[in-house]
């Protein structure tokens, strides 16, 4: 990570009204560099960058960043919550039932919310959050 990259992370935290700490910068950096990581993996990546960090501190930082819109939390049914740095584009996910692999898939059609329920029940809808379940290429192959 370059110095300017670290500055961007700090600026994003500050711009979202969050206090900038070395731990938070490391956590945000780990989420952005990763691919739908769970909390354990994020804690591991952040510890590689700043040393000791409690799991509780990681949870709290992720909670604050999710609330601030800096990271997105996805919760595929039956698997631990995952976090990603790709926010605000209403993308969806492909999830593997067997190994838990998660992959991004762009908006189903057009712009957010990109699909409409049969009835909106009077709601003003601004997002659709879809998980497509199946088997990833590794799990589909007969040898795997
Ligand atoms: Zn799989
Ligand atoms: Zn994603």
Q: What is the CATH number of domain 3-74?
A: 1.10.10.10
Q: How many CB atoms lie within 10 A of CB 67?
A: 13
Name the strands in the sheet holding 92-96, side by side, starting at the edge strand that comes first in the sequence. 102-105, 92-96, 131-134
What is the CA(44)–ligand 1 centre distance, in A? 23
- Which ligand is nearest the CA of 97, by number? 1
What is the CA(133)–ligand 1 centre distance, in A? 10
Are residues 42 and 27 in contact, defined by beta-carbon separation less than 8 angstroms?
yes
Output 4 or 59, whichever has higher pLDDT. Answer: 59
What is the CA(92)–ligand 2 centre distance, in A? 6
Q: For the residues 6-22, what does the mean pLDDT come to?
A: 93
Q: 3-74 with 88-144: one CATH topology?
A: no
- Which ligand is nearest the CA of 144, by number? 1
In tens, the pLDDT along 65-107 reads: 999 999 999 988 888 899 999 997 878 999 999 998 999 988 7
Domain boundaries, the chain: 3-74, 88-144
Inform me whether the pLDDT recorded for 131 exceeds 80.
yes
Q: For the residues 111-128, what does the mean pLDDT come to?
A: 81
- Which ligand is nearest the CA of 136, by number? 1
pLDDT of residue 126: 82
Number of continuous H segments (helices) and E segments (strands) in the chain: 5, 6
Question: What's the topology of domain 88-144?
Answer: Dna Ligase; domain 1 (3.30.1490)
Inform me whether the pLDDT recorded for 1 exceeds 60.
no
Are residues 60 and 83 in contact, defined by beta-carbon separation less than 8 angstroms?
no
């Amino acid at each position: 990570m370059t110095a300017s990259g670290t500055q961007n992370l700090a600026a994003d935290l500050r711009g979202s009204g969050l206090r900038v700490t070395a731990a938070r910068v490391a956590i945000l950096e780990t989420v952005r560099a990763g691919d739908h990581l769970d909390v354990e993996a994020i804690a591991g990546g952040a510890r590689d960058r700043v040393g000791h960090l409690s799991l509780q501190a990681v949870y709290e930082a992720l909670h604050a960043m999710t609330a601030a819109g800096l990271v997105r939390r996805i919760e595929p049914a039956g698997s631990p919550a995952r976090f990603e740095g790709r926010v605000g584009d209403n993308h969806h996910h492909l999830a593997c039932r067997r190994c838990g692999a998660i992959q991004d898939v762009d908006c189903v059609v057009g712009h957010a919310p990109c699909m409409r329920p049969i009835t909106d029940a009077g709601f003003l809808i601004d997002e659709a959050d879809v998980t497509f379940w199946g088997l990833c290429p590794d799990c589909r192959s007969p040898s795997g």
